[in-house]
Structure 1
Amino acid sequence: MSDSESGGGIEAVVLDVLPHGRSDDDRPRYQKEPLAFATGIEDFRLYEIVLDEDADVSFGDRIDVTDRSFQRVDEVEYEDLPSGAQSELEYAVEDLVEAEAERFVDFFNEAQPITLRLHQLNLLPGIGKKLRNTILDERKRQPFESFEDLEERVGGLHSPREVLVERILEELREDDLKYRIFVREEDQE
């Protein structure tokens, strides 16, 4: 879903809610702000959201991070997420890839060369030159219609969903990747 489809906002999935703030915050409990952590649906950016005391936000909710009812929304890095949010991130990414399968199958249909020697498909774990060429040949014949179609037509490509999830998680966890396909950084607009 694009920003325009969600009414101009940025839709995200809640990974974790800390109603009493972070455990490593040494302030008295009454001074801690309730927090939620979320990942963007479109670009997988990670957010820390300061909630109002009466906010009705829970794990797994889809929210608009531009909603004015939140006190503050900050982009954060993977290592800034509390352990609960880090462990839920993989499941959330798997669910998003499943829920938006058409978008991710289209990636296999539309991926392009990055340089003369490197293709976007080669950035996916386990896809080398031979597998990349098989994918390119098959999509010339007919675009892929589903993950199952992709698996059937491209021998050697097992679990394309898992390959995508692995790449998205790598982009979220690693700061020093040269190329990013799915996770948009702050300065990439």
Structure 2
Amino acid sequence: MYEYHPLSGREIAIQKPAPLTIRAAPDCARFSFRIDPAALGRASEAFGLALPAKIGDAVAADGKIAVCIGPDEWYLIAPSAAQQAVERAFAALYDTVPHSLVDIGHREVGIEIEGADAALALRSAIPFDIEAMPVNTGCRTIFDKAQIVLVRETEQRFRIEVWRTFASHVWGVLTAAGREIELEI
């Protein structure tokens, strides 16, 4: 795992007008995964979670998250302790099912946004209607000027995956949005 986390220990906690918490997500294993969709069943077995087949769908269980972000592309998250097991399972699969599994854990960090005003905080820098985004969906999009993967985990909880080099910028925008929410601007 990568030692430096630019957001380590940071948290924004707003209590009014409604509770809103923005915090660095715990470190985890992250992968960019590409495969022929016809072999999705075998890939699901290797990952230990049924990978979604529809672009935009996301599934989560046992600390793992899988987001279908393209016709043959998935963003995978697993607990740090499971990284080597995931890599071994996909390596064993490669002889019979060609695919690409790339460790991107060194490149990205996560930010969790939770509370009644989570969508409002995100709306400040995302160019689409966040409120219309269904639960258990995700997409690659732009947050201000940074590319992110956005996952809506519940009605009031989102997760941003962003390149480490843009994490402080995204955090700054979220800090400003949180302050505006707090001041009811």
Give the TM-score normalised by the residue count of structure 1: 0.22
Task: Name the structure, 1 or 2, with higher relative contact order (CA <8 Å, separation 6+).
Answer: 2
Q: Which has the larger radius of gyration?
A: 1
Q: Which has the higher helix share?
A: 1
Q: Which has the higher strand share?
A: 2
Give the TM-score normalised by the residue count of structure 2: 0.23
